[in-house]
């Protein structure tokens, strides 16, 4: 079995596992984090399997960067956070827990302490409502 066969994000790309999708194109997918660190925490992934930034092919990196910017703008418009943490972790020592290139977009509000990873699983209906808000901001 290859890394891509057992990778949870590759399984989401293939449709073998569910995700609350926000945006998808030929090279990238954005979806809600199921254990959000903050209200609106969204992940952007490359559809191509690469464990981290160092392994990702340049065309996939450029596509992921463009999608990250697009989703960041939509989150800012839809949720009006005071700030937006954008994080990309490489290796277990850096805090990476899923070894497939991905970017965290974590909205932040004044006075809120925000980590990279959340501790509690979000309710599916809450994730769907947030995804719909962000999607609406993408198209307006």
Q: What is the set of active-site residues?
A: 102
Which residues have CB under 8 Å from 23's CB, separation 6+? Answer: 29, 30, 67, 70, 71, 74, 135, 138
d(CA 71, CA 23): 8
Contacts of 101 (CB under 8 A, 6+ apart): 45, 46, 50, 51, 52, 53, 55, 56, 60, 61, 64, 88
């Amino acid at each position: 079995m290859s890394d891509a066969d057992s990778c949870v994000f590759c399984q989401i790309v293939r449709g073998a596992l569910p995700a609350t999708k926000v945006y998808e194109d030929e090279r990238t997918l954005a979806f809600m984090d199921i254990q959000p660190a903050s209200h609106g925490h969204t992940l952007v992934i490359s559809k191509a399997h690469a464990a981290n930034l160092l392994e990702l092919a340049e065309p996939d990196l450029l596509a992921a960067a463009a999608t990250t910017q697009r989703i960041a703008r939509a989150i800012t418009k839809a949720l009006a956070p005071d700030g937006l943490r954008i994080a990309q972790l490489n290796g277990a020592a850096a805090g990476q827990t899923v070894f497939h290139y991905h970017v965290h977009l974590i909205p932040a509000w004044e006075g809120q302490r925000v980590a990279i990873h959340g501790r509690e699983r979000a309710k599916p209906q809450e994730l769907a409502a947030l995804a719909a808000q962000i999607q609406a901001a993408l198209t307006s």
